[in-house]
Structure 1
Amino acid sequence: MATVLFDIDGTLIHTAGAGHRAFADTFRTLFGIEKISSDVRFAGRSDRAIAEELMATHGVASSSENWLRFVKAFVPRLEEVLPQCQGTVLPGVVELLDRLKESEQTAIGLLTGNIAAGAQAKLSHYRLWDRFAFGGYGDDWVNRNDIAAAALAASRTYVAQSQDARSGKTNGESQRVIVIGDTPADVECARSIGAVAVAVLTGGVPREVLVATEPDLLLDDLSEIDDILVQINSVTA
Structure 2
Amino acid sequence: MTATLLLWDIDGTLISSVPGCAEIYPRAFERLTGRPAVHQVDISGRTERDIMDELFRRNGLGPAPRHRLAEVLVQELRHKAAELEAVGRVLPGARETLTALGMREGVVQSVLTGNLRANAALKLGVFGLDELVDQEVGAYGDDAVERAALVAVARRRAAAVHGRVFDAGNTVLIGDTVRDVAAGRDGGARVVAVASGTTGAAELRAAGAESVLPDLRDTPAVIRAVWPGGGAV
TM-score (norm. length: structure 1): 0.86
Deviation at residue 36 of structure 1 after TM alignment: 5.1
Q: Does 1:147 align with 2:154?
A: no
Q: What is the number of residues matched between the two proteins?
A: 224
Name the CA distance, whole Å, in 1 between partners of 2:126 and 2:77: 10
Paired residues of 2:112 and 2:139 also in contact (CA < 8 A)? yes
Residues 180-224 of structure 1: per-residue CA shift (max 9 Å, x gap): 000112112222343221001111112321121232211110112
Q: Which residue of 2 aligns with 1:23?
A: 25
Is the CA contact (8 Å cut-off) linking 1:176 and 1:235 kept in structure 2? no
SS of the aligned residue for 1:202 comes to: coil
- 1:10 maps to 12
What corresponds to 1:205 in structure 2? Answer: 199
In 2, distance between residues paired with 1:104 and 1:14?
29
Output the CA distance in 1 between the equivalents of 2:193 and 2:221: 12
Identity among equivalent positions (%) equals 30
* 1:173, distance to aligned residue in structure 2 (A): 9.2
Q: Which runs of 5+ in 2 are unaligned?
A: none
Q: Note if contact 1:105-1:236 (Cα within 8 Å) is conserved in structure 2.
A: no
Alpha-carbon distance in 2 for matches of 1:173, 1:140 = 18
Going from structure 1 to structure 2, the CA distance change for 1:235 and 1:213 (only over 3 Å counts) comes to farther
Per-residue CA distance 1:16-55 (angstroms, 9 max, x = gap): 12431122222222322324523x1100111111111111
Is this contact kept in 2: 1:21–1:81, CA < 8 A? Answer: no
Give the alignment's Cα RMSD to 1 decimal.
Answer: 2.1
Once the two structures are overlaid, the 10-residue window that deviates more, 14-23 or 108-117, is 14-23
Q: CA 1:59–1:183 in structure 2 vs 1: closer, same or farther (change >3 Å)? A: same
Gaps of 5+ in 1: 161-169
Over 6 Å off, 4+ runs: 172-175
User: For residue 74 of structure 1, what is the aligned residue in structure 2?
Assistant: 73
Determine which of 201, 208, 218 is the counterpart of 1:224: 218
Q: TM-score, normalised by structure 2?
A: 0.87
In 2 relative to 1, CA 35–219 (structure 1 residues): closer, same or farther, beyond 3 Å? same
- Aligned twin of 1:185: 179
Change (3 A) 1:67 1:102: same
Contact 1:48–1:140, Cα closer than 8 Å, also in 2? no
Distance (whole Å) between structure 2 residues aligned to residue 192 and residue 156 of structure 1: 20
More displaced, 174-183 or 93-102? 174-183
Hey, what's the Cα distance between the residues in 2 that align with 1:152 and 1:24? 33
Aligned AA (2:154): A
In structure 2, C-alpha distance between the alignment counterparts of 1:101 and 1:177, rounded to whole Å:
15
